C-alpha cells in the first residue's frame, strides 16, 4: 500500500512539473458563470438601465482562451492572453472600476415599450406615436428615421467605445513595435485575434424595462468573457479605429448559409480595405473591403459558409 502511495505521489509530481495542469486549466469546456457574474454585477452596480447577466449564453464555445478577472477591494483586474503575431503571445491587462463601467454600459439600451419581441428579434410597437420614437429611440445606441428605417446605431456604438478600446489598441501597437512587427496588416490581424479568441456566446441581457437585441457592449464582452457576431464586430471595430484610418473600416450585416450555427443566417462581420490580399469582399463608396469573421478563430479571407448576401454596409465616418 505504501509503495502504491509513493508511486502515485511520484506520478503526480511528474505531471505537475510537466505543466499538464497549467494546460488543462486553460481549457474552458463550459461557461462558468459564478466569477464572471460576480465581476459584472460588481462593476455595473451604479448603472441606471437594468440588465440580466444571470442567463447562460447560448452556443458558448471557448477557443482555449486565457481571460482571467479578479476583484480586489474597490476594483477588478483582468489579464487576457491571445495570439498577437505568428507565435508571439499578446498580453493585455486592465483595471476597471464600478463608476466607469456602470457609465459605459448605460450608453446602450432601448426602452422595452417601444418594441414587440418576435421569434427572431423585434418589431416596432406601432401603438406608440412617431413622435414617441423620434424622442425616445434616437439615443443610447439606437436610431429612428421612420417606421421602415430604425434600429441599432452601430456607428454610434463603435465610436462611443473607441476610448475604452484605445487601451487595447495601444498595447497591440506597443507589442508589435517592440518586436519589429508593426505594420498595417499586422495591426488588423492582432486586433482580429484579440476578439476572435474571446469565446463565442450569444448574450441575452433583456429585462422587463430594457431591450438589448442580444448585443453586449465592449466592456461587457471583456468582463463576461463572451460575445456574438455583432458584439464582437463592434468591439473589433472600436479597437481598430485607434490603429488604422477610420474610413478603412466598415460593418456589414448579411445573410449567410453555413454548417456552423454561429455563422448561419442573419450575421454581422467587419470589413477592412487595403489589406493587400484577395478574398470575399464588399464594395462601399467605390472602395473594396475584405470581409473579416470575428466570431471564432478564422484565417483572414477564409469562411465556412457557401453563400453570402450583404443586407447593409455601415461606414464609420
Cβ atoms within 10 Å of 2's Cβ, excluding its own = 6
Model confidence over 15-46: pLDDT tens digits?
A: 333 333 333 333 343 566 667 889 999 999 99
Q: Tell me the average pLDDT across 143-155.
A: 97
Q: Does residue 12 register a pLDDT over 60?
A: no
Domain ranges of the chain: 2-315
CA gap 15, 205 in Å, rounded: 41
- Over the stretch 38-96, which tens digit does the pLDDT of each residue have? 999 999 999 999 999 999 999 998 876 688 999 999 999 999 999 998 889 999 999 99
Q: What is the pLDDT of residues 238-278, one digit of tens each?
A: 999 999 999 999 999 999 987 777 677 899 999 999 999 98
Average pLDDT of the residues of the chain: 89
pLDDT band at 136 (very low <50, low <70, confident <90, very high): very high
Grid cell, residue 158, equals 463603435
Query: What integer pLDDT is reported at residue 33 of this predicted model?
Result: 66
pLDDT value at 4 more than 80 = no
For position 19, what pLDDT does the model report? 36
- Residue 122's nearest CA partner among 208, 213, 203, 51 is 213
Q: Which residues contact 313 (CB under 8 A, 6 or more apart)?
A: 250, 251, 252, 271, 282, 284, 289
How is the chain split among helix, strand and coil, in percent rounded to 5?
35, 30, 35
CB 284 within 8 A of CB 310: no
pTM of the entire structure?
A: 0.88
> Given this model, what pLDDT does residue 31 score?
63
Q: CB–CB of 84/176 below 8 Å?
A: yes
Amino acid at each position: 500500500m505504501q509503495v502504491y502511495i509513493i508511486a502515485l505521489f511520484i506520478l503526480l509530481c511528474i505531471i505537475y512539473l510537466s505543466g499538464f495542469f497549467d494546460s488543462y486549466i486553460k481549457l474552458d469546456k463550459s461557461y462558468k458563470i459564478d466569477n464572471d457574474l460576480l465581476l459584472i454585477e460588481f462593476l455595473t452596480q451604479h448603472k441606471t438601465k437594468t440588465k440580466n447577466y444571470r442567463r447562460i449564453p447560448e452556443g458558448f464555445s471557448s477557443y482555449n482562451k486565457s481571460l482571467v478577472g479578479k476583484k480586489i477591494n474597490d476594483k477588478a483586474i483582468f489579464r487576457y492572453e491571445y495570439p498577437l503575431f505568428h507565435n508571439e503571445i499578446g498580453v493585455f491587462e486592465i483595471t476597471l472600476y464600478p463608476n466607469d463601467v456602470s457609465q459605459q454600459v448605460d450608453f446602450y439600451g432601448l426602452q422595452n415599450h417601444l418594441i414587440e419581441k418576435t421569434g427572431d428579434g423585434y418589431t416596432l410597437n406601432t401603438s406608440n406615436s412617431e413622435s414617441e420614437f423620434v424622442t425616445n429611440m434616437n439615443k443610447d445606441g439606437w436610431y429612428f428615421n421612420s417606421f421602415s428605417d430604425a434600429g441599432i446605431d452601430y456607428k454610434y456604438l463603435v465610436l462611443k467605445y473607441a476610448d475604452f478600446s484605445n487601451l487595447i489598441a495601444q498595447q497591440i501597437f506597443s507589442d508589435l513595435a517592440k518586436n519589429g512587427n508593426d505594420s498595417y496588416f499586422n495591426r488588423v490581424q492582432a486586433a482580429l485575434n484579440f476578439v476572435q479568441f474571446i469565446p463565442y456566446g450569444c448574450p441575452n441581457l433583456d429585462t422587463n424595462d430594457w431591450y438589448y437585441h442580444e448585443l453586449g457592449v465592449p466592456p461587457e464582452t471583456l468582463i463576461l468573457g463572451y460575445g456574438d457576431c455583432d458584439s464582437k464586430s463592434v468591439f473589433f471595430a472600436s479597437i481598430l479605429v485607434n490603429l488604422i484610418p477610420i474610413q478603412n473600416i466598415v460593418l456589414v450585416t448579411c445573410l449567410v448559409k453555413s454548417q456552423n450555427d454561429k455563422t448561419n443566417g442573419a450575421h454581422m462581420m467587419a470589413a477592412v480595405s487595403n489589406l493587400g490580399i484577395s478574398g470575399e469582399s464588399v464594395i462601399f463608396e467605390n472602395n473594396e473591403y475584405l470581409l473579416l469573421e470575428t466570431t471564432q478563430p478564422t484565417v483572414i479571407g477564409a469562411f465556412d459558409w457557401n453563400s453570402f448576401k450583404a443586407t447593409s454596409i455601415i461606414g464609420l465616418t
